[in-house]
C-alpha cells in the first residue's frame, strides 16, 4: 500500500505513489489540490499553521522544537531526517523553530531546546528535553505509530 501523506494546508490524508514520485510527478492533495510534501520530508511548522499541521494531523506527530543557534539542535538534524524517511506514512515528523514561532513556544511551555514532543489525536502524549538518540525517539514512538 502506498504511504499516506497529510496535506499541510487542509490536513487530508492522501495516498502517494512512491513510483510516481520517483518519476518526478508532484503529488497534490485530493481535497484542496495543494502540493504535498514528499512522504519522507520533515515538515516545517509555524505559529500560523500549528493547529492544522500538528494538532489536526491524522497521523501521530513527532515535533522537534529547535533553534538555529542551538548546537545540540543542529546535531539532531540527521536523526530527524532519517526518522522522517523511515517512518513515512506512519508518523509525521515536524520541526518548530522557536525564534520564528513565539506563540507556539509559549503554548507548549518550552523551557529548553531541543525538545521533542509526540502528539496523537491532537494531544501531547510524550515529551523529552535534550539531545536524544534514534533509539530513544523510536522507543517513544513505538506506542503511537
List, by residue number, the catalytic residues.
Answer: 70, 73
Query: Which residues, listed in sequence order, are joined to residue 66 by a DSSP beta bridge?
Result: 97
CA 78 – CA 7 distance, rounded (Å): 24
**Residues 79 and 87 sit within 8 Å (Cβ to Cβ):** no
Measured distance CA(41)–CA(36) in Å, rounded: 10
Q: What is the DSSP letter of 54?
A: I
User: How open is the CA angle 51-56-58, to the nearest 5 degrees?
Assistant: 150
CA 12/CA 58 separation, integer angstroms: 8
- Take residue 59 and report the three cell numbers written for it: 497521523
Amino acid at each position: 500500500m502506498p504511504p499516506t501523506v497529510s496535506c499541510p494546508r487542509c490536513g487530508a490524508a492522501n495516498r502517494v505513489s512512491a513510483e510516481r514520485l520517483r518519476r518526478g510527478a508532484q503529488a497534490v492533495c485530493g481535497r484542496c489540490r495543494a502540493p504535498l510534501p514528499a512522504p519522507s520530508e520533515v515538515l516545517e511548522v509555524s505559529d500560523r499553521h500549528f493547529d492544522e499541521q500538528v494538532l489536526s494531523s491524522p497521523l501521530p506527530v513527532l515535533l522537534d522544537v529547535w533553534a538555529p543557534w542551538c548546537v545540540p539542535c543542529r546535531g539532531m538534524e540527521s536523526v530527524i531526517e532519517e526518522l522522517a524517511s523511515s517512518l513515512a506514512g506512519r508518523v509525521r515528523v515536524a520541526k518548530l523553530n522557536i525564534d520564528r514561532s513565539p506563540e507556539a513556544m509559549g503554548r507548549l511551555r518550552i523551557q529548553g531546546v531541543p525538545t521533542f514532543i509526540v502528539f496523537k489525536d491532537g494531544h501531547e502524549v510524550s515529551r523529552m528535553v535534550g539531545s536524544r538518540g534514534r533509539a530513544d525517539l523510536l522507543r517513544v514512538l513505538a506506542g503511537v505509530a
